[in-house]
A and B are shown apart, each in its own frame.
Chain A
């Protein structure tokens, strides 16, 4: 992908903070201008997506996996779709879009949430961690290592969500016994049925005394 000169290098396709603010001011002016424009011209917006786009987008800034992002998104865009479709962080998966399966689990300010149930514009100033941000360089997180060792997956599709949920489950203090783990991991469905192995992986990390 080619990169425009004023793009933010940490976020290809997105402009840096000042550029984004300039754009926002421009957009605000355009909105103001439209507000003062006769109805006939406003109606033309239906036909012109660039004008419609100005109505639709809002600025939002957040930190994702340690990088600062200044973004302009439609209010109806979920955090999940922002991550996947606009930021190309496709490790987070869509399984239901209804908060029923947990495949889209990410951490927001350290808490596990279903990213399909939260709007991107609600994340102003938040710190988000996705599966891509869990390892330290080439060193996997202990939960990632344990999932490999105990084969806590088959197809791997629910795995990013399981792992994000598992890390939070341990941090919350909900990994005290296999029964407790099964209960507090039940928001993450694994249709391949790797539950036994997921429980074994979490138990090992918990008992190993790792810092998660």
Chain B
């Protein structure tokens, strides 16, 4: 029998398209008669629009229209009768300005240059009101909505009674996803009630659902294409107001309209990781047994939507600790709404918790690795359930060996290399291993090729490649004869690509549809082929794309040809069962960092990174490694460079470009060792894969800050760790 494909290091199935420029992202499409849009955005951060003078813009060459709240077609889904202020930004619905950079008009012209120029001619006047963008000055506005429940296990604030304790505050600034591909959309109303979109999205079905409600159209009238997405990291998990603005402009002008926003607007229009202020109190016995953790967090949201995420959740379940309480609040600021950014809230929370663990270890004069081992949770302490699989202890061991943890000095500031202080740090990460519901169709053709379709997305991890491998193992058909198609709303339902769950969710549907295809082939054979007549379909063996009965082997292709069937199509929906109630399912990561810190300048250089993933079966060792090193690079940015800075006098970002908002470049990244536990989770899904997109980043920043402490004795609790904080 042929070798198993899952687990192999296979080249990406779409690699050739990506290296030749043949992969078409949303903005690479150009429907016949397409016009170009440019946005006019508010320079004030709170207030009202008092007038829009578009006379000059409308007279400029090639301008088709200027659309704003004064003339936009109505959006039926904006519920006028229910003035709940937390319903999101209703773009072009009224004169309210909630944040700097909010779009107030969209200019459409027959060339990009003409649209951009005409946008500069639109004169908007505002009645400015007082704004607030500084969380430090808005803490009195902190609130909890009804979904934000406090958590208590055992006794609240038990850490205060502990023999050894640490209490500290940790801050992270606003971070921006900044995928390489600029956001935007191409909107085309083919008829007044038939909408076609080329979108940048992590879920074509999700876009379809949002627009179905907003424009009150049946699903069948909304087509969303999104086969290639140039990175997203969470920012394309929802539809944004500027996309609605483009759809409205296209509706009014009755031509396809393309909007590609600017890099500057990527800071204000498509979400960000919210700023968060966290306080952790943590206590232990003299031997290092945890007795209590208190984790409180406040994060910002927009004035018009409550964005919540799992910032404090890791503290509830990471360590065996009898007493844990968490509290989480939001503060509304005059900013746009945040959205999940890779690792999401867990990455924010892990920075605080994993820093606090390191601080506690230092106070206990204990190796932080030892402290983590002493408090290892053998069962999920939050839900009292066994883990479906957990190899965290092995992960600690593998990572420590690879980085050379024994070289670390327990006393900070003791190691030096070439005049640089040297430190070692570590952290852990954890993320729920999800499995949702997805449908896939499998089309077996008479030439023996197989096409599997599902409306999944691929923002870069290599979804189609993994799915082809899963289908190859399930059917025995060679990978070269299998295609997996995604990113089209007409395909069978799949959830958004987010929360590290695509392989688990869509992969299960692919596996199951392939099994059902084999069942159908079996039925076809038992009904029509003499050699199979005495067998039941479910008892037929399948090997290498063949049905097997004793010495008789029959190619799938031959069976279809004999039955004169051009193709056989099977569709299957797959979802998790009750096992999710019986087991706690998590992926775990361990990060180790060796850093050098220059004592005079405070420059931090990461010299070596080791990241270990306990993510179940690794479907493709090549793309999985890429996903892990990508998370590490994101983590380097979070730890050392990324911070969206606002001039609070104006409520405006001052570093809203790639030159001033520093995402790591090639020279910022050291060689990275990625290690996989690669043991199948026996419960979660047929492949045993737990997911790794988030754990690649979760906790990483703490490994760096712990290493910086180990090098210098200086504890940086406010990210990013810039040189000014070390000198």
A-side residues, CB < 8 A to B, are 1, 46-47, 49, 52-53, 56, 74, 76-77, 81, 84-85, 88-98, 100-101, 103, 130-132, 134-135, 140, 144, 147-149, 151, 153-160, 163, 178, 181-183, 185-199
Contact = CB atoms under 8 A, between A and B. Distances in A.
A98 B59 CA distance: 28
Contacts of A183: 666-667
Contacts of A89: 21
Given A94-B260, A193-B632, A155 B21 contact: no
27 contacts: A77-B113, A85-B30, A98-B657, A98-B658, A148-B11, A153-B18, A153-B626, A154-B460, A154-B461, A154-B462, A154-B630, A155-B180, A157-B231, A159-B18, A183-B667, A185-B666, A186-B668, A188-B665, A189-B180, A189-B658, A189-B665, A191-B179, A191-B634, A192-B630, A193-B669, A194-B630, A199-B666
Contacts of A93: 25, 180-181, 230
Contacts of B32: 1
Q: Chain B CB within 10 Å — which of A94, A188, A199 has the most?
A: A94
B23 interface: yes
A144 to B, nearest CB: 4
Contacts of B462: 154
A163 B23 CA distance: 14
B666 A198 contact: yes
A83 B598 CA distance: 45
A67 B11 CA distance: 32
The 10 closest A-B pairs by CB, nearest first: A91-B21, A193-B633, A157-B230, A156-B18, A154-B460, A155-B460, A193-B630, A90-B28, A100-B658, A131-B21
Given A154-B231, A188-B666, A191-B180, A100 B20 contact: no
Contacts of A149: 11
Nearest to B231: A155
B59 A46 contact: yes
Interface string B632-673: 111000000000000000000000011100011111110110
Contacts of B263: 95-98, 100-101
Nearest to B674: A196
B265 to A, nearest CB: 11
Interface residues of B, number: 69
B666 A195 contact: yes
Q: Chain A CB within 10 Å — which of B11, B28, B232, B626 has the most?
A: B626
Interface string B552-573: 0000000000000000000000
Nearest to A77: B113
Secondary structure at the B interface, as helix, strand, loop or mixed, is loop
Nearest to A154: B460
B447 to A, nearest CB: 22
Contacts of A46: 59-61
A145 B215 CA distance: 46
Contacts of B626: 151, 153-154, 192, 194, 197
B122 interface: no
Nearest to A193: B633
B178 A191 contact: yes
A196 B21 contact: no
A196 B113 CA distance: 37
Nearest to B465: A151
A198 B663 CA distance: 17
Contacts of A94: 27, 182, 260
B233 A191 contact: yes
Contacts of B180: 93, 95, 101, 103, 155, 157-158, 189-192
Contact of A131 (B15, B20, B622, B633): B20
B629 A140 contact: no
Given A154-B231, A193-B664, A198-B666, A148 B19 contact: yes
A100 B62 CA distance: 30
Given A96-B658, A156-B14, A193 B629 contact: yes
Interface in B1-45: 11-12, 14-25, 27-28, 30, 32, 36
B663 A148 contact: no
Interface of B: 11-12, 14-25, 27-28, 30, 32, 36, 59-62, 110-113, 117, 178-182, 228-233, 260, 262-263, 459-462, 622-623, 625-627, 629-634, 657-659, 663-669, 671-672
A66 B53 CA distance: 47
Given A94-B260, A148-B12, A195-B669, A156 B658 contact: no
Contact of A182 (B25, B232, B666): B666
A179 B158 CA distance: 50
B629 A194 contact: yes
Q: Chain A CB within 10 Å — which of B11, B179, B232, B658 has the most?
A: B658
Contacts of B632: 193
A19 B557 CA distance: 55
Contacts of A192: 180, 231, 460, 626, 630, 633
A140 B16 contact: yes
Nearest to B116: A76
A95 B459 CA distance: 16
A64 to B, nearest CB: 13
B671 A196 contact: yes
B197 to A, nearest CB: 18
B25 A157 contact: yes
A101 B658 contact: yes
A143 to B, nearest CB: 8
B59 A47 contact: yes
A196 B23 CA distance: 23
Nearest to B63: A49
A90 B21 contact: yes
A156 B23 contact: yes
Contacts of A160: 19, 21
Nearest to A143: B19
Contacts of B21: 89-92, 130-132, 160
B24 to A, nearest CB: 7
Contacts of A182: 666-667, 669
A95 B524 CA distance: 52
A107 B644 CA distance: 33
B403 to A, nearest CB: 16
Contacts of A148: 11-12, 15-16, 19
Given A52-B61, A159-B19, A195 B633 contact: yes
A163 B17 CA distance: 13
Given A95-B180, A98-B263, A153-B18, A189 B663 contact: yes
B185 to A, nearest CB: 15
B672 A88 contact: no
Contacts of B672: 196
Contact of B113 (A76, A88, A98, A157): A76
Contacts of A95: 180-182, 263, 658
Q: Chain A CB within 10 Å — which of B36, B260, B669 has the most?
A: B669
Nearest to A47: B59
Contacts of B231: 154-155, 157, 191-192
Contacts of B658: 95-96, 98, 100-101, 189
A84 B233 CA distance: 25
Given A131-B20, A197-B629, 9 more contacts: A81-B113, A91-B20, A100-B657, A155-B231, A155-B232, A156-B230, A191-B634, A196-B629, A199-B666
Nearest to A45: B61
Nearest to A46: B59
A190 B668 CA distance: 12
Contact of A144 (B20, B665, B671): B20
A49 B60 CA distance: 8
A80 B647 CA distance: 32
B62 A49 contact: yes
Given A155-B459, A191-B231, A85 B112 contact: yes
